[in-house]
Amino acid sequence: MKADVLRVQGLQVHYHTPLGAVKAADNISFSLKADERLGFAGESGSGKSTMALAILRMIKPPGQIEAGEVWLDGLNLMTLSEEEMRQVRLARIALVPQGSMNSLNPVTRIKEQIADALTDHGVRMSKRQVEERVRDLLQSVGLRPEVANMFPHELSGGMKQRACIAIAISLHPKVIIADEPTSALDVVVQKQVMETLARVQKDLEASVILVGHDMGVVAQFVDRLGVMYAGKLVEVSPVRDIFTKPLHPYTQMLIASLPSLEQKGTFQGIPGLPPLLRDLPPGCAFHPRCPYAFDRCQTEEPLSREARPNCWAACHLLS
Amino acid sequence: MRRNISLVIGIVLLSGLVLFVGIGHIVVDTSKSRALSAPAMKPPSFQYPFGTDRQGRDLLAVMVAGTPLTLRIGFIAGFLGVGVGAILGFVSAYYRGKVDVIIRGIADIGLTVPGLLVLIIIAVSIKEGLTVDQMAIIVASLAWLNPTRTIRAQVLSLRERGYVEVARLSGMSGPEIIFKEMMPNLLPYLAATLVNTVSNAILASIGLEVLGLGPIESPTLGMTLYWVNYNAALLNGWWWWWTAPIVIILVVFLGLFFLTVGLDEIANPRLRRAV
Amino acid sequence: MTTLLEARHVTKIFGGGLFDRNSIVALEGFSMAIDGDRPSITAVVGESGSGKTTLARLLLGLVTPTRGQVLYKGRDLQRMAHADWRAFRRDVQVIFQDPYEVYNPFYRVDHVLTTPVSKFKLASSKAEARALIEDVLKAVGLRSEETLGRFPHQLSGGQRQRVMVARALLLRPRLILADEPVSMVDASLRASILGSLRNMNLELGISIMYITHDLATAYQISENIVVLYRGSVAEAGDVELVVKHPQHPYTQLLISSIPLASAERTWTTETVVGPAGLQAAGSAGCKFADRCPFATSPCLQAAPPLFQTNRYRAVSCYLYQSAPALSVEEMVKAFAEPAKLSRVGSSGTPMTA
């Protein structure tokens, strides 16, 4: 049994708006093992990006981490000072953020951006060592060494994204969090970037958390998959179980809503609309749209329980 | 209100001015703003709170009578300038092509010519005495140049919006799209441009008046400063003569400036609440 | 057979002239006719840079072709009279990708529905207009009391897009061009919006041209498919054939790159094909040749014509040159349903840089 590299317990993130507190992430708990790939899939507003940012303590006001613990190799990140957290970010746990290809500095060359990341973390290396490291990093993400001297606008979308991955792994973190890393990329390029991420993970012997709305991409990459809805984690199971025997009705209906390439006429949507996060229905957040809802669902919020070995879901049908 | 302090300050300043003029007209005898209506060169006293000038004008009456005149020049010129500028800017940006090239060309060339110079030449060539309204027209003749360019730039980006295309596909004609789809979204921007143009117009008119090219008979703020200059009031130590108009001009410009900043905050989509 | 809308040897080049190095060839020698008699659903699939959005804009008359013509009922769009344009706007409607941009933030969402009603005189009284609008809203699964009277930012992306579909329905067009209608909508809502499109086709006889990068949804709702690569047609035909048994190397690459939401690992093969280089405008030869594992020297010299390898499918690739070629002049049916397809083959002027 591999050790837990990351353990999140009861993470709670609220956004304080003039209209009330919005529970963007509600009581999220999960663990990530060494060398493991864990995915979080959910639609817009499900809280997956919020959760990813919260783990890194990158939530900005009016958002606030109300409660929860994040244990990284035995160290509770929530107790660290801002300065200590800064050291942990990138060095031990790195983020490939959403739309990261647009967050590259347009007037700086790639090698300088990577070097900046290194020096920012107090890494003392000679100029030649930095250049070597940059070259190694670019090679590990499949980019030619000439890319180091290029500007972001000279690179294609996929290349930019791989450059962002290179920056993220520059200090050899143990955990990589990728938040929608391929959402703006074409399908062919997307596959190449995900292959790069897989290779990088193997080289570093790191763990990856992949957050995305495209169930297909997430499913093809990860070992275990968590499904999020309205800020809650409704199911976490190995990928095989999720697709062959999904536990939570939302998971089932979400999978049914995905169009397949095998057979026509098989996909159908989930009726109704996702709830407004500041106006959640009582009890289970999914009950208004759930075909199996019964009276308990309207009053009591279901707790996550292990219905099968290593398969967790929060649904009253399982008790 | 708390979010837009500039707007509040601007409104307060300008309202103060309006009150001053309004109450002043009731309380003060504005006929005293003409020459020879009061003893000359009196420093401020209870009877003449702003003092009098060399030609025997009651300066308080001058301020009360003159401020609205100056403002009127500014507003007429400002409205004319933005009105013409908006029409030209919309037409130029929406239809593109030759119309755009011509309008843009004229505006660009016009902007390179020193404005004050042109105004001076125009003012000098008018032989008979200038009225306040004629001043306004003169200033307006150049006031449309900048609004044309800036409004054109705004419309250029607006016309690429999805809803403009949808309107076109729904059968709306060009002018309809300009008025019904684009104009409402530009109202805050137009308001800010208007205030800006009024401000510039007042400045231009005061500039002309100080040079003596304004309506000589009228007690406008600029003309007062002309007389201050003519009579070397600064050197002679008649401080009350130039203090009053300068303070009022300051209030006008500060008020308009804060109003512009405040309106700009409303117009700038980045500062609006997110969709 | 009357043709409703047709693209004839349409080429669109952006930026600069024919031989300018900085120009981008968005679409090259594209021809396609949409039947006015029998309603069809055709998918046009391609990645970014394929020219699919340009094609949509050309067909709507929002953009003029550099070469070739777009014809509405036989009349060139560029030379149509005003009356013809009105008829065109009634017959051909569009659903855009972005459900946020298409709404004027100044008005309530009713505005996008009432404008076409009044402009095209669809109702003779206010009550009739209101009834008409409520009907179309119901047809797309929206409740008018939840939708009308609201501002755009008060509705969700999915609701906004559904209102757009309702708007297209108001005019009872003959053809709806749907340009990525669900790519900015949540997965669970996509099915219902696409379902509405499908119903409009089956029940109301409206033809749909579904333009997208998402092969899976294209497969689900279309009868025929056209695969575009960098402005040229790679493969076209019956969607079952093209998707289940792709013949063009690009189509094969595309399909193998699609991540399936299933327990099976289909993403196992390392991508053999190299990355797309930056486009060299005006180079002769097959557009895919620089990445194709099967490329040979004829591929680099001249772009291949469409070879009809099956009654219901055509491929633009020399691997299939034993099959009969579709020539420029005659438009041969390659589709299972009556949308026709042809393109400028190697007999078209190859562009030299």
The number of CA neighbours under 13 Å toward the Cβ of B194 is 15
Note the pTM of the prediction, 2 decimals: 0.81
Nearest chain C alpha carbon to A241:
C263
Q: Which range of residues forms the domain containing residue C320?
A: 3-97+173-260+280-285+310-343
Name beta bridge partners: A17: A20
Task: Give the separation between CA A109 and CA A113, rounded to whole angstroms.
Answer: 7
User: Cβ neighbours of residue C283 under 8 Å, at least 6 residues apart?
Assistant: C351, C353
Q: Region B146-152: what's the mean pLDDT?
A: 92
Average pLDDT of chain C to the nearest whole number: 82
- What 3-state DSSP class applies to A102? helix
Task: Give the separation between CA C116 and CA B168, rounded to whole angstroms.
Answer: 10
The two three-digit tokens of residue A186, written as one number: 């074409």
Q: Which range of residues forms the domain containing residue B165?
A: 5-271
C21: CATH: 3.40.50.300
Residues of chain B in contact with residue C86, where contact means CB-CB under 8 angstroms, are: 171
Residue C269 pLDDT level (bands cut at 50, 70, 90): low
Contact between C52 and C232 (Cβ < 8 Å): no
CB contact under 8 A, A219 and C261: yes
Task: Give the separation between CA A282 and CA A297, rounded to whole angstroms.
Answer: 8
CB contact under 8 A, C275 and A253: no
Contact between C235 and A229 (Cβ < 8 Å): no
Q: Region C186-194: what's the mean pLDDT?
A: 85
C178 falls within a domain = yes
CB contact under 8 A, B170 and C115: yes
CB contact under 8 A, B163 and C103: yes
Chain centre to alpha carbon of residue C29: 16
C123 falls within a domain = no
C122 falls within a domain = no
Residue C20 pLDDT level (bands cut at 50, 70, 90): low
Could you give the number of structural domains in chain C?
Answer: 1
C336 falls within a domain = yes
Q: Region C197-222: what's the mean pLDDT?
A: 90
Q: Give the closest-approach CA distance of C190 to chain A in angstroms.
A: 7
| Beta strands A232-238 and A311-313, pairing class | antiparallel
For chain A, which ranges sit under pLDDT 70? 1-2
Looking at residue C211, what is its pLDDT? 94
Looking at residue C273, what is its pLDDT? 58
Name beta bridge partners: A21: A16
C154 falls within a domain = no
Report the helix count and the strand count for chain C, using DSSP H and E: 11, 14
| Angle formed by the axes of helices B239-267 and B183-210, nearest 10° | 160
C155 falls within a domain = no
Q: Model confidence over C84-140: pLDDT tens digits?
A: 888 898 899 999 988 888 999 889 999 999 999 988 888 888 899 999 999 889 888
Looking at residue B237, what is its pLDDT? 83
Please check the confidence at residue C349 and state whether its pLDDT lies above 50. no
Q: Region B85-101: what's the mean pLDDT?
A: 90
B118 versus A175: the higher-pLDDT residue is: A175
Task: Give the separation between CA C265 and CA A222, rounded to whole angstroms.
Answer: 10
Q: Region B236-241: what's the mean pLDDT?
A: 84
Give the rounded percent of residues in chain B with a pLDDT score beyond 70: 95
Q: Model confidence over B183-227: pLDDT tens digits?
A: 888 888 888 889 889 988 888 888 888 888 888 888 888 888 888
Q: What H or E segment, with its residue span, contains residue A5?
A: strand A4-17
Looking at residue C99, what is its pLDDT? 87
Task: Give the separation between CA B54 and CA B61, rounded to whole angstroms.
Answer: 14
Nearest chain A alpha carbon to C188:
A269
Name beta bridge partners: C326: C306
| Beta strands C224-229 and C41-45, pairing class | parallel
Give the closest residue to C178 by CA, choosing from C158, C193, C199, C188.
C193
Length of chain A: 319
C349 falls within a domain = no
B217: CATH: 1.10.3720.10
Largest Cα span, chain B: 73
Residues of chain C in contact with residue B171, where contact means CB-CB under 8 angstroms, are: 86, 89, 115-116, 119-120
A204 versus B31: the higher-pLDDT residue is: A204
CB contact under 8 A, A216 and C189: no
Instruction: Identify which of B170, B185, B275 has the shortest CB distance to residue C153.
Output: B275
Nearest chain C alpha carbon to B183:
C106
Could you give the number of structural domains in chain B?
Answer: 1
Interface test with B, best of C86, C101, C109, C117 (most B CBs within 10 A): C101
Q: Give the closest-approach CA distance of B272 to chain C in angstroms.
A: 12
**Cα first-last separation, chain A:** 27
Nearest chain C alpha carbon to B188:
C106
Please check the confidence at residue C328 and state whether its pLDDT lies above 80. no
